[in-house]
Structures are given as structure tokens and as C-alpha cells.
Amino acid sequence: MRTIAYLGPEKTNTHLVALKHFGPRCKYVHQPTVEEVFSKVERREADYGVVPIENSLGGAVTHTLDRYVGYMDTTARIHGEIDLPIEHGLITRPRTNPEKIQVVFSHPQAFEQCNFWLQKNFPGASRSETDSTAAAVQRLLKKSIGIWSTFYKLNQRAAIGPKELAKEHGLKWVPIPQERENRTRFLVLGRGPLSRRRSSKTSILLILKDRPGALYNALTPFKNNGINLTKIESRPSKGRAWEYVFFIDFEGHEGDRNVKKTLRILGKSAKELKILGSYPVKKVRK
């Protein structure tokens, strides 16, 4: 039986994606941080890991990128990308009267994505940030959690989170309309390279020498070898201030002839070049 480590807690979107991808016949272990998902895979305590990498509204999940920047010799490679539509909903106890809601619990990113809707529909409610949408539902449910119990009654509380979370606890879920397309991309982490047959995309990490035109020169071999870049993202390097690491995604497999040639040229001029993986991309429905 395969073991899958994912960024927890349970029933958040990362868990749902892992379940959809690997199915029911696996052992799922939730981890408190992105760091620990990577570690589980590296130490062979898990066969695969699942972490978020980017949201279409909030941008890059910097913890995931920075884990690669901080441990460039990691053995955890990208084995897949999963693109999931995100649906937020207002979760309450079944008999809660919406007019009585005085506090809403959720993750900061969910608040940002539901900002206008909350302002319009619950202008008077305070917002309380939690580490995850699952933790928000815990605050909604628990009668005695110290500080909150003194402030708000159970029927004055709401949370924002996915439908599955509400369902699990027998709570009410009302969808919150999103103004813009809200999707999250997740990475499947594994060990070793994948075969060419299954893969369509490659990710690399690149540190360039501090020279005029360095980025342009780095992109030239891609152009000359007919390789299409799909994404470029920069993060601070672990070296000097204002030195950057680039994450570049492109179409093709690391074993393809034109990709091999491109990476060989790039490797000569770059300060660091690391192949993160060649892997398939999957879009899933809710």
C-alpha cells in the first residue's frame, strides 16, 4: 500500500486533491507544513507528497518554492501537477440565522478571495484568521476553546471553507460566488525521474550570474530550440540580498533531444541549474 503525505489538516483542498489523484486504497498522512511533506518523501517515509504551488488569484505558494530554494539537493522531484477549481462556501450550524452572525473564521487567503462578498453580506461581522479552513470549522464547532467562547455564541459563528468540510460535520454550506476564476495548482512529489510517455511539462530552477542580459541570454536557447515557456517566477535566493532564483516551466520532457540540448547550454552559463522534474498535468473537476 502506498503512503501519501499531504499538507494537512484533513478535508482541506490539498487532501481532496490527493484523494482524487491516488484513490482510496492508499495510506494518507497529513503534515503540518510543506517542509514536512518534502521531508517525508525524501526520507522514504512516504511514496508521494502533495503540496499547493500556486493559486490563480493569490499567486505562488512561496513556502513550496522556497523549500526548493533552501534545499537544492533534495531528492523530491515533481511527478505531477493537478489543477483544481476552488469553491468557497459559508459554513454555519444548520439552524444559525445568518443575521445573527458576528464572527467569521477562515484562512487569510479565503478571506481575501471572499472579501467583497463578506463586505456586502456581513459588513458587521469580525474576521478571525486561522491556519486552515479545517481549523476555522473547529472554531465554529467547539464550545470551549478558551478565548472565543467568551466572545461569541455558537450560533453567532460562521466559517469559510470547502463543501466537503461542512458535509463531514453535518453543517450547512452556502456557496460564495467568486468574481474571478479561482483555481489552485498542486504538485505531486515523488522520487526519481518519470518516463517520457507520461510527461508533458518540465520544471527547472535557475540561478543566473549577475551580468547584463543574463535573463535574456538564458531564454535564448529555449527560443532557438523551439521550446515554449509556460511560466516564469522569481524568488529571493539564499545568498546575497536582491539575488534571485528563477523557476521556469516549459513544454517537453527532460529526455527530449531539444530539451537536453537547451539544458546543456543553460548549464554552462548559469550559476545553478536544477531539474525539478518532467511530469503530466491533470485538470480535475470538483
Positions that interact with a second copy (CB under 8 A):
55-59, 62, 146-147, 150, 180-183, 212-213, 215-216, 219-220, 222-223, 228-229, 231-236, 238, 240-242, 244
Strands 201-207 and 172-175: unpaired
Give whichever of 169 and 235 is closer to a second copy, judged by the CB atom.
235
Least Å distance, CB 178 to a second copy, is: 11
What's the chain's length in residues?
Answer: 286
Least Å distance, CB 3 to a second copy, is: 28
Least Å distance, CB 132 to a second copy, is: 15
Cβ contact 276:68 at 8 Å: yes
Burial letters for 116-138: b for 16+ Cβ neighbours within 10 Å, e otherwise? ebbeeebeebeebebebbbbbbb
Burial letters for 30-42: b for 16+ Cβ neighbours within 10 Å, e otherwise? bbeebbbbbbbbb
Q: What distance in Å separates the CA atoms of residue 75 and residue 43, rounded to the nearest whole number?
A: 9
Give whichever of 240 and 285 is closer to a second copy, judged by the CB atom.
240
Least Å distance, CB 252 to a second copy, is: 12
Least Å distance, CB 215 to a second copy, is: 6
Give whichever of 174 and 224 is closer to a second copy, judged by the CB atom.
224
Give whichever of 24 and 146 is closer to a second copy, judged by the CB atom.
146
With H, G, I as helix, E, B as strand and everything else as coil, classify residue 157. Answer: strand
Give whichever of 235 and 261 is closer to a second copy, judged by the CB atom.
235
Tell which phi-psi region holds residue 170, choosing left (phi > 0), alpha (psi between -120 and 50) or beta: left
- Phi, psi of 208, deg, nearest 5: -100, 155
With H, G, I as helix, E, B as strand and everything else as coil, classify residue 176. Answer: coil
Least Å distance, CB 283 to a second copy, is: 11
Give whichever of 73 and 181 is closer to a second copy, judged by the CB atom.
181
